[in-house]
Structures are given as structure tokens and as C-alpha cells.
Amino acid sequence: MLKRFFTLLACVIGVELVGSISGFFAGDIPAVYAQLNKPLFSPPGSLVGTVWIILYALIGLALFLVIDSKERRSKTFAYFLFAIQLVLNFIWSIIFFGASHFWIASFISLFLLISILFSIREFRMISKVAAVCFIPYLVWVAFATYLSFGLAILN
């Protein structure tokens, strides 16, 4: 029981750290975001950070559920897809906010969206709850991809 708790904690904190480190390398995200011409339906910057904290916790929970699953099938591909989406997630804000390469970041966001779809499909075969944990992430990244392309066009 204690081992499961620490595994859960490591997954959630690990994913939260990935987001925090990415934000650190991206620089002053709120200042950059405030200066950009924004497309319709752009959320306030204060909301975006809060949403990501929740999403990172759900992403970490999904990873834990895959790790903890008693499903006999191989989990290697699920871990691979998880790593791909996490790397794309990590580099997006650095490329977008840190380097101001809006178009490159927009295509990274599109690839992230696709990798999340594949992750959900693979997770569903191992843990349906893990797949459900990725649904809010999918919705938010779809919206973020719209914003990313919108910001690229307007800036």
C-alpha cells in the first residue's frame, strides 16, 4: 500500500516538475502572453497556469494507473507514447514563449494533440480510468492548439 502511494506521488510530482521546469526555461510566460495579440476566446493568463497544474496532476495520475494496472498486456508502447507527449508538452512553451517561434510551436502543439489521442487509445486497453484522465488534457490541448495557431497568425 505504501509503495503504491509513493509511486502515485512520484508520478504526479514528476509530471508537475516537468511542467515547472519547462515554464522556468520558457521565461516570463505571463509577460509574453500579455503582450501578444490574441485570437477570439483567449483565456486570461491567470487561468492558464491553474488549468495546467490540474492537468499535470491528471497526467501523473494516468501514468500511475497504467503502471499500477494488473493488465497482462505489454505496457511498453503506452510508456513510449506517454514519453513522447510529455516531451512535446515540455518543449512547446520553451519554443513558443522562450524562443518566440510561434509557428514551430503551433505544429508541435498539433503533434502533441495527435500523441495524446494515441496515448488515450493505448491507455484505454490498459486502464480505462487512465484514458479518462487524459480527456481533459485532450480538450485543453485542442483549445491550446487553436490558440497557438491563432497567436502565430496574429503575431
DSSP strands (E only) in the chain: none
The pTM (predicted TM-score) of the whole model is: 0.95
pLDDT in tens, 10-61: 999 999 999 999 999 999 999 999 999 999 999 998 899 999 999 999 999 9
110: left (phi over 0), alpha (psi -120 to 50) or beta: alpha
The residue ranges of every structural domain in the chain are 2-27+43-154
| Per-residue confidence band for 1, with pLDDT thresholds at 50, 70 and 90 | confident
Q: How many CA atoms lie within 13 A of 13 on its CB side?
A: 6
CATH code for the part of the protein at 2-27+43-154: 1.20.1260
How confident is the prediction for the chain on average, in pLDDT? 97
What's CA 127's distance to the chain center, in Å?
Answer: 19
Is pLDDT above 90 for 73? no
List Cα–Cα distances, 139 to 55, 135, 143, 151, in angstroms.
11, 6, 6, 18
Task: For residues 26 and 154, give the distance between their C-alpha atoms in angstroms, rounded to a whole number.
Answer: 20
